[in-house]
Amino acid sequence: MEKFKLNKDTDIPLYIQLYEKFKILIEEDQLEQEKLPSIRSLAKSLGVNNVTIVSAYKLLEKEGYVYSIKGSGTYIKKLPDETIHYLEEGDMDLMVSGILPISKNSINFASMSPTSDLFPIEEFKKVLMEVLDRDAGLAFLYPEITGYDPLRDSISKFLKENYNTIVNKEEILITSGGQQGLDIISKTLITPGDCIFVENPTYSGALSSFKSRGAKIIGIPINESGIDIGSLKSYIKKYRPKFLYIMTNYQSPTTYSYSTENKEELLSLSKEYGFYIIEDDFLTDLNFSENKKMPLKSKDRFDQVIFIKSFSKIFMPGVRIGFITLPNKLFKEIIKAKHTTDISSSGYLQRAFDLYLRQGHWKSHIEKIKTVYSEKYKIMTDGLDNLSQYGISYIKPDGGLSIWLKLPNNIDAINLYNECAEKGLAIVPGKVFFVDDSIYSNYIRLSFGAVTNEEMTEGLRILENIVSRPFKDKENNYLPFI
């Protein structure tokens, strides 16, 4: 197994090292057998845990180098599949890195997707039946390419009532979720080689869309007030971006929200240098304080902000409803990109969601889930406050579905992820959200969207047991996370 020997003295994660070694050997056809070594035997020979091997194999499979057969093993693909795989929004930021899967029995601090008990089943079932009774077969005709007209009108009113944002219905395009919105924008605006800016760290699913179109991606640091304006100005002059992609409220993964001053500066820079701002929103509604959040779009006076909204995380992911606001200058190009993507989104679900909004169910649903999630948020933050004694710190977001934890130097995020996985706790190492490794990334993200209160308490207990060990064993010089 000499050819797979790993360097444990480098910052490069072991699973990445192993992935790179297999990748080269497969590309150069240097492996003698079609079947890869078993997970257990390879882990034993390399002196690593099974999770390291699983993570490397999953990344190889994701990139099309191997395939697995349940109960048999992992095999080399003779012709690597170079297709770009688009995954569900809830798991994109995890799966795109190849780090997971999550065991069925694990406590899931990794996913932000809501639990099914929060779905407004009865209310939505009523509007589904009402649409069938009202529209009969018309409900299953293709809607116009921009979306069901009454729903576009309802969303226009939704934006005005909830975000004080004026957008005419003619400027709204209905999409099958937020990820499709990103793909459509990528098709429309990006020519291979174009430079685009993103927050660093950011949502991995957006990075996948931009990379698939051949964009040159520049990461701009983000702090508690939003994207670093000084760095942004410097990079704008150097690279002249096609657009800037941001999340202004409860940014993923940091949970930071932009200050008013930061938002105003962004709009001025966008106007001065002629680039668009893509504002991605899916959590603005989930605010647990009196300080109500508003999107950047509400301040857009120059038609420079393209607003993408997904309802997946706070409604029902399977309904796949979202929308984009369309600048007049890009209207025809964006519609063309939508048409080549899927012609139109489900007309039946659009009609039902329109009725759901018109009958006022949305407001009652938001109030319900805010009550539930604010309780989860308190349990999570109370537990994490107790971990400050071990050098862990974080900023309380007062909203959203996750917490961004900064780890002390003696605890490595990837090693912590591996140890948590072995104990049945799924977390996300911060490294997967960064554009590159040029800045400090020793963070983890913990989400409370997919767990019960009891699971959260147990998960926090597991986390404390692991992170407290370096301190408990200090007199023995035992620091397992280095």
Q: Which of 438, 404, 434, 406 is nearest to 200 (CA)?
A: 434
CB 171 within 8 A of CB 334: no
Do 36 and 10 have their domain in common? yes
Q: Which of 400, 394, 370 is nearest to 382 (CA)?
A: 394
Do 383 and 469 have their domain in common? yes
User: Is residue 424 one of the residues assigned to a domain?
Assistant: yes
Into how many domains does the chain fold? 3
Token pair 């209160």: residue? 453
Of 83, 106, 131, the domain-final residue: 83
Do 97 and 60 have their domain in common? no
pLDDT of residue 471: 61
Rounded Cα distance between 130 and 152, Å, is 19
For the chain, the average pLDDT equals 87
CB 277 within 8 A of CB 308: no
Q: Which of 221, 252, 249, 224 is nearest to 235 (CA)?
A: 221
pLDDT of residue 322: 92
pLDDT of residue 77: 76
Residue 396, Cα to own-chain centre: how many angstroms? Answer: 19
Q: What is the pLDDT of residues 340-382, one digit of tens each?
A: 777 667 889 999 999 999 999 999 999 999 999 999 999 999 9
Q: What is the pLDDT of residues 231-289, one digit of tens each?
A: 999 999 999 999 999 999 999 999 999 999 999 999 999 999 999 999 999 899 999 99
Do 339 and 267 have their domain in common? yes
User: Is residue 481 one of the residues assigned to a domain?
Assistant: no
Of 361, 378, 407, the domain-final residue: 361
Q: Residue 29's domain is classified under what CATH number?
A: 1.10.10.10
Do 328 and 441 have their domain in common? no
Token pair 């007030």: residue? 225
pLDDT of residue 179: 87
Contact partners, residue 357, CB within 8 Å, separation at least 6? 151, 154, 155, 157, 158
Token pair 């940091």: residue? 254
pLDDT of residue 143: 83
Q: Which domain holds residue 389?
A: 91-117+364-476
User: Is residue 319 one of the residues assigned to a domain?
Assistant: yes
Rounded Cα distance between 339 and 172, Å, is 15
Do 332 and 452 have their domain in common? no
State which residues of the chain have pLDDT below 70. 1-2, 70, 78-104, 343-344, 437-440, 470-482
Q: Residue 216's domain is classified under what CATH number?
A: 3.40.640.10
pLDDT of residue 343: 63
Q: Is 403 helix (H, G, I), strand (E, B) or coil?
A: strand
Q: Is 332 helix (H, G, I), strand (E, B) or coil?
A: helix
